[in-house]
Amino acid sequence: MRKILVANRGEIAVRVMKTAKKMGIKTVAIYSTADRMSPHVQMADEAVLIGEAPSNKSYLLGEKIIEVAKRLNVDAIHPGYGFLSENAEFGELTEKNGITFIGPKSKAIKIMGSKLAAKEAVKAYDILMVPGTDEAITDIEEAKKIAQDIGFPILIKASAGGGGKGMRIVEKESDFESQMNRAISEAKSAFGDGSVFIEKYVTSPRHIEIQVMADSHGNVVHLFERECSIQRRHQKVVEEAPSSVLTPELRAKMGEAAIKVAKSCDYLGAGTVEFLLDDQHNFYFLEMNTRLQVEHPVTEMITGMDLVELQIRVARGEKLPIDQDDLKINGHAMELRVYAEDPLNDFLPSVGTLDVYQLPIGDHIRVDNGFEEGMEVPIYYDPMLSKLITYGKTREEAIELMLKAIENYKIEGIQTTLPFGTFVFEHDAFRSGNFDTHFVKKYYSPESLKTDQDNEAKIAALIALKQYIEDQKIVRLPN
């Protein structure tokens, strides 16, 4: 494998290229008209304009990407995450054209791409699942009967969904019909498929996911868990590894379950098995993401493994260089997704120019970044600028370093989730480890963030005033 095309943009494209270069592999970038000046374009050995700014005219043009790959004699394509990373047809098309797809085979992508098919696949392995429907449903009256049997509150989820689209929590029966209609409509609009399934809504849930890696020689390992419970609009903002609530015994059980899920679909490469953990520490299979996750750096920090390198080695047909017994948790890592969003305005996207953009630096601080000072933040893509990751020997150490790193991350020209990050990492519930996926709903409001910022400003002003008075005393000292 001498040349890899990275079929993505931003920080993940840069991340993949760093490892490829370390392995002596040439890289090809593709870019849209909005991304001409992006770091991933400058970093690649070759770069090709793929189309206009909207992703359906650029990064989602599978056949055009294959044409570019063939023209430039590319050996493999790394899809990153998002865009075509979980598109089974694109994976098949890549392989048909004699190019290696750095990811699982299309069978696994198809099975795990449908939440219902995924549940069917893991049934034989005695893995607990949240009580609910076994098949997709669109009949509202039938769905209502099922919901009554399961008992409220219930969760309606789009079968083909993700990212919180087509998802509705229904607290009481009188709201069921309207919420069901909304979920079906949203699912049709987002995925072209209005089928949904219904499951029991787990109260006080924590979102725990297990990283797995599988080779083509029958070896599957897990690289422990990530806690992803701090979410807004069902999407993750803060992640950490390991979780503060898992015992070694529970960790081992969840790891074994994740390996079984991978085996159920003949998995290959890096994948993530997602679970819900209830307040009694029962865990339930949710779904499998058949790609590298946004939050993979925290796993890399605590295991010392380069997951992209392992992906490439597995795609080349190599055996995994590690056994389960070789893997150990060392220390603690935190990640904050730095989004161009305004936390004081319902996390709405904030577009504009990065007038100031300075990254924090220091030991055990890592920034997976896709932007530079002076760049425009485009409206066409996910608003994530970067991922800020810190590592410590303990959870407390990683949190304190994160707060320092946030303080030293200078961004002007747009609003970001950095202040929200400070709010989370300073909050007693987070620091104690006693939180769940309702953290934002329970504790966060724009007013609370504004109060925190005002208090910080007052403290800074008092410190400045005290320093000024001290300086004046020195100036006034007689000769």
**pLDDT in the model for residue 162:** 63
Is the Cβ–Cβ distance between 394 and 412 less than 8 Å?
no
Give yes or no: residues 54 and 28 share one domain.
yes
| Long-range contacts from 183-187, C-beta under 8 angstroms, 24+ separation | 183/156, 183/157, 183/158, 184/138, 186/158, 187/158, 187/159, 187/160, 187/161
Give yes or no: residues 40 and 163 share one domain.
no
**pLDDT in the model for residue 175:** 93
Give yes or no: residues 168 and 217 share one domain.
no
Q: Is residue 410 included in any domain, yes or no?
A: yes
Q: Judge if the upstream peptide bond of residue 153 is cis by omega within 30 degrees of 0.
A: yes
Helix-helix angle 248-264:115-122, to 10 degrees: 110
**pLDDT in the model for residue 159:** 78
Q: Place 139 in a pLDDT band, splitting at 50, 70 and 90.
A: confident
| Pick from 123-127, 248-252, 332-336: least confident | 123-127
Is the Cβ–Cβ distance between 395 and 430 less than 8 Å?
no
What's 160's DSSP letter?
Answer: T
**pLDDT in the model for residue 447:** 87
By percentage, how much of the chain surpasses pLDDT 70?
94
Please say if the pLDDT value at position 16 is more than 80.
yes
Mean pLDDT of 78-104: 97
Domain end residue (candidates: 82, 102, 122): 102
**pLDDT in the model for residue 442:** 94
Domain end residue (candidates: 156, 182, 200): 200
Give yes or no: residues 153 and 278 share one domain.
no
3-state secondary structure of 99: coil
**pLDDT in the model for residue 234:** 83
Reported as a single tens digit per residue, the pLDDT across 255-290 is 999 999 999 999 999 999 999 999 999 999 999 999
**pLDDT in the model for residue 163:** 61
Give yes or no: residues 183 and 210 share one domain.
no
**pLDDT in the model for residue 188:** 83
**Of the listed 168, 206, 291, 395, which one is catalytic?**
291
Residue that the structure tokens 């920090």 belong to: 301
225 has which bridge partners? 210
- 160/54: higher pLDDT: 54
- E strand or H helix at 190, and its extent? helix 176-191
What's 174's DSSP letter?
Answer: G
Mean pLDDT of the chain: 93
Mean pLDDT of 365-383: 96
Please say if the pLDDT value at position 474 is more than 70.
no
Domain end residue (candidates: 145, 166, 200): 200
Give yes or no: residues 359 and 217 share one domain.
yes
Mean pLDDT of 440-467: 74
**pLDDT in the model for residue 457:** 60
Strands 196-200, 154-158: pairing kind:
antiparallel
Q: Is residue 188 included in any domain, yes or no?
A: yes
Q: Is residue 475 included in any domain, yes or no?
A: no
Nearest to 3, CA basis, from 93, 84, 73: 73
Reported as a single tens digit per residue, the pLDDT across 41-75 is 999 999 999 999 999 999 999 999 999 999 999 99
**pLDDT in the model for residue 86:** 95
**pLDDT in the model for residue 464:** 66
Q: Is residue 35 included in any domain, yes or no?
A: yes
Give yes or no: residues 194 and 260 share one domain.
no
Strands 356-358, 376-377: pairing kind:
unpaired
Reported as a single tens digit per residue, the pLDDT across 186-231 is 888 877 888 888 988 888 899 999 999 999 999 999 999 999 999 9
**pLDDT in the model for residue 453:** 63
Q: Whole domain around residue 31: which residue ranges?
A: 3-102
The per-residue b/e assignment along 116-136, b for 16 or more CB within 10 angstroms, e otherwise, is bebbebbeeeebebbebbeeb
391 has which bridge partners? 333
Give yes or no: residues 340 and 423 share one domain.
yes
Give yes or no: residues 164 and 189 share one domain.
yes
Mean pLDDT of 382-410: 98
**pLDDT in the model for residue 478:** 55
- 201/371: higher pLDDT: 371
* CATH number of the CATH domain containing 239: 3.30.470.20
Please say if the pLDDT value at position 14 is more than 60.
yes
**pLDDT in the model for residue 470:** 73
Please say if the pLDDT value at position 479 is more than 60.
no
Q: Is residue 52 included in any domain, yes or no?
A: yes
The number of folded domains in the chain is 3
Q: Is residue 115 included in any domain, yes or no?
A: no
Give yes or no: residues 17 and 70 share one domain.
yes
* Torsion angle, alpha carbons of 38, 40, 45, 46, to 10: -60
* CATH number of the CATH domain containing 20: 3.40.50.20
| Pick from 158-167, 192-201, 320-329, 460-469: least confident | 460-469
**pLDDT in the model for residue 50:** 98
Is the Cβ–Cβ distance between 222 and 211 less than 8 Å?
yes
Give yes or no: residues 334 and 392 share one domain.
yes
Catalytic residue check, 316: no
Please say if the pLDDT value at position 459 is more than 70.
no
Q: Is residue 418 included in any domain, yes or no?
A: yes
Full-model pTM:
0.87
Q: Is residue 460 included in any domain, yes or no?
A: no
* CATH number of the CATH domain containing 141: 3.30.1490.20
Give yes or no: residues 211 and 155 share one domain.
no
